[in-house]
Structure 1
Amino acid sequence: MNKEDQVMIGFRELYNKLVWLNKDKMEDSLKGYKPSEVHCIEYIEKNVDSNVTKLAESFYMTRGAISKLTKKLIKKGLIENYQKSDNKKEIYFRLTEQGKVIYKIHEDLHKEFQERDKAVFEQVTEGQFDSMLSFVDQYNRHLDAEIKKQGIHMKSE
């Protein structure tokens, strides 16, 4: 097996183990909420003036799928929409108090998981971090170019 295969298999294994390890605690703490709903809540809290287009781009989903998701979140009382006085056409989202509670639970879980894994990251040198970040950035740019080359337009769907 070459190093490229080892890296890709390693990434998949890491991701799958993280999901598996965190799954029960996430599901117990966020009962009744799907991962896509929780991540949408997280995005809206962290990004001012979130709208359907920005959410679709961020999640690599169609605008139609995001519209369905946000309607569910509004119905559950987790987000609300608003418009700016200078732009009555565009609809934006923000969290309700109930949405902020879900966001806080999710953030606290992430902090707990970070604390659990801290021992590993404390051993990583600046140079190692820089190399990993450089690789991730380079691979992301490559995939962005491939998406563009294949004509996959998430923004317009």
Structure 2
Amino acid sequence: MNKKEQVIMGFRDLFNKMVWLNKFKMEDSLKGYKPSEVHCIEYIERNVDSNVTKLAESLYMTTGAISKITKKLIKKGLIESYQKPDNKKEIYFRLTEQGKVIDKIHEELHKEFEERDKAVFEQVTEEQFDSMLSFMEKYSRHLDAEIKKQGIDVISE
């Protein structure tokens, strides 16, 4: 296996380990909520005037899938929709108090996981961080270009 393959496999392996390690605690603390619902809640809390299109683009899902999720979240009382007085066409979302509770639980879990992994990150130098971030940005831009070249629209059905 060459270094490129080792890096890609390493990323996959790290991601899968993180998901597996965090999964049980997340599922236990956020019973009754799917990861996609929690990620929608997180996005809505951190981004003003969140709408279906912005959620779809951010979460790499179709607008149809986001519409279904937001309907479920409204029904569960976690988010509410609103419109701006000057734009009656566009529908936006914000968290309810109940939605903010779920977001807070999710945020606290991430802080707990960050604390668990702190020892590793304390050993990383600024130069190493810069190098890793630079690589991820380049690779992300490449993948964005490939998505565009293939005509894949992440927000359409």
Judge same fold: TM > 0.5, yes or no.
yes
Give the counterpart letter for 2:137 in structure 1: D
Quote the offset at 1:154 in angstroms. 2.2
Structure 1 residue runs of 4 or more that deviate by more than 3 Å after TM superposition:
none
Q: Please give the alpha-carbon distance, in whole angstroms, between the structure 1 residues aligned to 2:26 and 2:69.
A: 19
Q: Please give the alpha-carbon distance, in whole angstroms, between the structure 1 residues aligned to 2:101 and 2:19.
A: 22
Aligned equivalent of 1:76:
76
Aligned equivalent of 2:143:
143
Aligned equivalent of 2:97:
97
Q: Please give the alpha-carbon distance, in whole angstroms, between the structure 2 residues aligned to 1:62 and 1:24.
A: 27
Quote the offset at 1:156 in angstroms. 4.3
CA offsets, 1:92-132, max 9 Å, x none?
00000000000000000000000000000000000000000
Aligned equivalent of 1:123:
123
Aligned equivalent of 1:153:
153
Aligned equivalent of 2:48:
48
SS in 1 for 2:82: strand
Aligned equivalent of 2:20:
20
Give the counterpart letter for 2:84 in structure 1: K
Q: Please give the alpha-carbon distance, in whole angstroms, between the structure 1 residues aligned to 2:59 and 2:122.
A: 30
Unaligned 5+ segments in structure 1 are none
Q: Please give the alpha-carbon distance, in whole angstroms, between the structure 1 residues aligned to 2:43 and 2:80.
A: 14
Quote the offset at 1:155 in angstroms. 3.6
Quote the offset at 1:16 in angstroms. 0.6
Structure 1, 34-43 or 58-67: larger mean CA deviation: 58-67
User: TM-score w.r.t. structure 1 length?
Assistant: 0.98
Aligned equivalent of 2:38:
38
Q: Please give the alpha-carbon distance, in whole angstroms, between the structure 1 residues aligned to 2:59 and 2:43.
A: 10
Quote the offset at 1:61 in angstroms. 1.1
Aligned equivalent of 1:88:
88
Aligned equivalent of 2:63:
63
Aligned-residue sequence identity (percent) comes to 84
SS in 1 for 2:77: coil
Quote the offset at 1:59 in angstroms. 1.2
Give the counterpart letter for 1:74 in structure 2: I
Count the aligned residue pairs: 157
Q: Please give the alpha-carbon distance, in whole angstroms, between the structure 1 residues aligned to 2:90 and 2:43.
A: 18
